[in-house]
Amino acid sequence: MLSCNKSTEATATEEHHEGKKGTVELTPAQVKASQIVFGNFERKNLSEVITANGYTKLPPQNQADVSVFMAGIIKTITVIEGQYVKKGQTLATFQSVEFNNLRLQKAKLKDELQQAKSSMDYLSADFRRQKELSNEHVTAQKTFQKTSADFEALKSKIENLTQQIQIVEQTISLSGNENKATIAITAPISGYITAVEVKIGSSVSPNTSLFSIVDNAKMHVDLLVYEKDLFKIKIGQNVRFVLTNQGNQEILGKIFSIGKAFQNETKSVAVHADINNSKAGLISGMYVSALIDIGNNDVNTLPIDAVVKAEGKEFIFIREEHDEKNEKEAHDDGIQFKRIEVKTGTTQLGFVQVTPLQDIPDGVKIVIKGSYYLQSSIANAEGGDDHGH
């Protein structure tokens, strides 16, 4: 009698999970626990494509290493790694003995220039007087030649001092303000701080990189295309990228440039593609797999996990809809799924071409994740029936 009761309970459980052939019913709790996700067909170009691999990349004008123009000691730091900064923003300040010496040198040169100009006023007048006397043969020619030589030497000295002062002023202007005791280290571009290589009190020199900045706004992708496919590549073609280490996130782009030389002694050429959708989360050097669309053949696709194989056939699952009259009753009893036989085609970037072998109502919810669980439920129920019989 106990055995009979167990058999009856098993049959009831099977009937709950398996209704008519190819359907399965789950409670809302089971749907949630099995992490079933609904979706629909997506139109994608899954044919006439070239596969290529590559990396995300930034042009050199969107990267910057920040250094100082003379030696000094870091006094303050105002940024941290990951912070966004604007062009011209102060990143740190430093003090420099060389800078102070430069200011003293400028003052000394200006004094010399002023003295030279004062001497020039006297010498100019003497030069004009000696020239007049020489023309009238009143003074000796030798005296005029010496005065002329002194005049030209002083004129050359003034020009040289003026040039030296200009060079010193240009160097001092790099500090932003020569009247301050500290010198500002500013951002040459807008972007994100990726490295801070100094601390308060660090000794720095002109050959030291203190900060690194990147501007991801111009992020693009460099793809390596082999020689045999190169003639098929054209500027303007659409590209689809997948970041293999980012959960197969798909990114859209377009080719804007094609390289003119082979890369690193390989038979491949670099093809450069812009990124059309959001660049958020992308950093330079990420590995990507890409498909370059060279044709136009849009088809209905589903994620690969939406399709299951059984009995030598391929299936997807849809959620069976109920009319309004039976909606509450259906909700109380559970959620019904129906298995639909399909034919699959090309598979690319985690999606597969799917053609249903029977009509599917418009707007029906398709299971795009969790199909294997539903198929297992059907297989277990059918196995139980066979065993019972």
Q: What DSSP string describes 251-272?
A: EEEEEEEEEEEESTTSSEEEEE
Quick one: pLDDT at residue 247?
62
Could you say which DSSP state residue 262 is in? E
pLDDT score recorded for residue 121: 66
CA distance 240 to 292: 7
Instruction: Note whether 375 and 268 are within 8 A (CB).
Output: no
**What pLDDT was estimated at residue 214?**
92
63-211: which CATH number, 3.30.360.10, 2.40.50.100, 3.40.50.2020, 1.10.8.60? 2.40.50.100
Residue 322: predicted pLDDT: 60
Compute CA distances 323 → 25, 31, 81, 303, whole Å.
17, 21, 57, 29
pLDDT at 81: 94
Low-confidence spans in the chain with pLDDT less than 50: 1-18, 324-331, 384-389
In 3D, which of 311, 307, 226, 302 has the Cα closest to residue 269? 226
Radius of gyration for the chain, computed over Cα atoms and rounded to the nearest angstrom: 40
Residues 217, 279: contact at Cβ < 8 Å? Answer: yes
Q: Looking at the domain that runs over 11-46+300-388, which CATH code has it been given?
A: 2.40.420.20
CATH topology of domain 49-58+219-296: Elongation Factor Tu (Ef-tu); domain 3 (2.40.30)
Can 49-58+219-296 and 63-211 be said to share one CATH topology?
Answer: no
H/E stretch holding 333: helix 324-333
Per-residue pLDDT at 74 = 92
The residue extents of the domains of the chain are 11-46+300-388, 49-58+219-296, 63-211
- CB neighbourhood size of 50 (10 A): 20
Q: Which residues pair with 26 in a beta bridge?
A: 335
Q: What's the length of the chain?
A: 389
Burial of residue 71, with CB atoms counted within 10 A of its CB: 0-12 exposed, 13-18 middle, 19 or more buried: middle
From 319, 377, 365, 311, select the one nearest 341 (Cα to Cα): 311
d(CA 90, CA 99): 18
